């Protein structure tokens, strides 16, 4: 699941809506419940998704100017094909009216069933 999340997160780099955003994708050190994270920074928002090997995730977006949380979500990803739908609110919270459907469809082909 973590490898699939990393593939999805890397596919976002191809999105033209993210040209003014900084993305960092990290696979954290091995442990009992290893995690990976995606950080997105725009001029107005900071966002992070952390996904654990247990399939649980936490997503949060902060407004830089007000320092307020504008989006927060906790849940469980059932299948890698759920990434796009599950995290679309996160991307919107980052202020990204994204058009990642084409990139996601391409990335989805590389994700194992």
Q: For the chain, count helices (H), then strands (E).
A: 4, 5
How many domains is the chain built from? 1
Confidence (pTM): 0.84
What pLDDT does residue 102 have? 47
Which residue range is the domain that position 25 belongs to? Answer: 2-110
- As a dihedral over the C-alpha atoms of residue 59, residue 63, residue 66, residue 67, rounded to 10 degrees, the angle is 40
Which residues of the chain are under the pLDDT cut of 70? Answer: 16-18, 97-113
What pLDDT does residue 13 have? 78
Tokens of 105: 């469809």
Q: What is the pLDDT of residues 71-94, one digit of tens each?
A: 999 999 988 888 888 998 998 898
Q: For position 18, which CATH number holds?
A: 3.30.1780
Tell me the CA distances in angstroms from 87 to 5, 55, 66, one per residue in order.
11, 13, 23
């Amino acid at each position: 699941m973590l490898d699939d999340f990393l593939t999805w997160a890397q596919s976002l780099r191809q999105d033209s809506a993210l040209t003014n955003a900084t993305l960092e994708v990290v696979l954290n050190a091995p442990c009992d419940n290893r995690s990976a994270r995606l950080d997105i920074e725009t001029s107005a928002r900071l966002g992070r998704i952390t996904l654990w090997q247990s399939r649980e995730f936490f997503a949060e977006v902060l407004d830089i100017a007000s320092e307020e949380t504008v989006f927060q979500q906790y849940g469980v990803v059932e299948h890698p094909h759920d990434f796009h739908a599950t995290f679309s609110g996160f991307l919107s919270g980052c202020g990204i009216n994204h058009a990642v459907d084409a990139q996601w469809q391409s990335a989805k082909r590389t994700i194992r069933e």
